[in-house]
Amino acid sequence: MQVALFYTPMKKILAPIFISLFIFSACHSKDEAEYYFSDAERDTLLTNVITLVSENAVYANLDTRFQKKFRAEYVSRLPLYHFVKLTKLENGDCYFLLSRPVANLKTLRRGVVGKFTLKEGSLQPENFDEVVNTPHYSEELVVERGSFLFRELVKKGNLDEYLSMRHYVEWPDKYLKYDKVKNTWVSTGVTR
């Protein structure tokens, strides 16, 4: 009888904790931005990534694009972009698959697979690298092919063996490479 009394208060304490942990872990997987970031944090991080991967705001350039006066324009682009996948490793490396618009084509999307770390105490990406961009596809194909590339990048740390798969990777190619210092795609010098 005394044993039952001992376990009853413990059940009342531990049961809600275990239920909460189960519900929380069931809501989001470790390859979703929501697992690591609140909605507000995710939107801030996504806006910072948009600032790096999209065309510059009007009157901004590569050196000025993070200035406060351009922030509103990048925030206005939030509905057009989303993290399909994002995972954060214990060493702080973040890997992502981003779905983004293609110019003015409403039915086509592009996948961006890359990695970055976060500046200490902020949601500002550092060491940002757009590893690959997919060709223009429907959202469904961007998710399917981009997810494969995302998983391989997390597992292997690079996508070198897949770069020749033109139906999965549009860039880099023999004409364009990603410049990690300027955070933009640049010409390789090969002419068409």
Q: Where are the domains of the chain?
A: 30-187
- Taking the C-alpha atoms of residue 141 and residue 26, their distance in angstroms, rounded to an integer, is 26
- What pLDDT, on the 0 to 100 scale, is given for residue 16? 54
Residue 93, pLDDT above cutoff 70: yes
Q: Residue 123 — very low, low, confident or very high, per pLDDT cuts 50/70/90? A: very high
3-state secondary structure of 134: coil
C-beta separation of 97 from 149 below 8 A: yes
Strands (E), the chain: 82-88, 94-102, 105-118, 125-133, 176-179, 184-187
Query: What value does the mean pLDDT of the chain take?
Result: 89
- Which pLDDT tens digit goes with each residue over 42-52? 999 999 999 99
Structure tokens belonging to residue 58: 């009007």
Query: CB neighbours of 77 closer than 8 A, spacing ≥ 6?
Result: 47, 50, 54
Percentage of the chain beyond pLDDT 90 is: 80
- Which pLDDT tens digit goes with each residue over 126-184? 999 999 999 999 999 999 999 999 999 999 999 999 999 999 999 999 999 999 999 99
Strand 176-179 and strand 105-118: the pairing is unpaired
Amino acid type, 35: Y
- Taking the C-alpha atoms of residue 84 and residue 134, their distance in angstroms, rounded to an integer, is 13
- Which pLDDT tens digit goes with each residue over 94-108? 999 999 999 888 899
Percentage of the chain beyond pLDDT 70 is: 85
Of 14-18, 56-60, 64-68, the poorest mean pLDDT is in: 14-18
- What pLDDT, on the 0 to 100 scale, is given for residue 124? 97
- What pLDDT, on the 0 to 100 scale, is given for residue 29? 83
Q: C-alpha angle with apex 185: 73 to 180, nearest 5 degrees? A: 95
Please, how many CA atoms are within 13 Å of residue 187, restricted to the half-sphere of its CB?
4
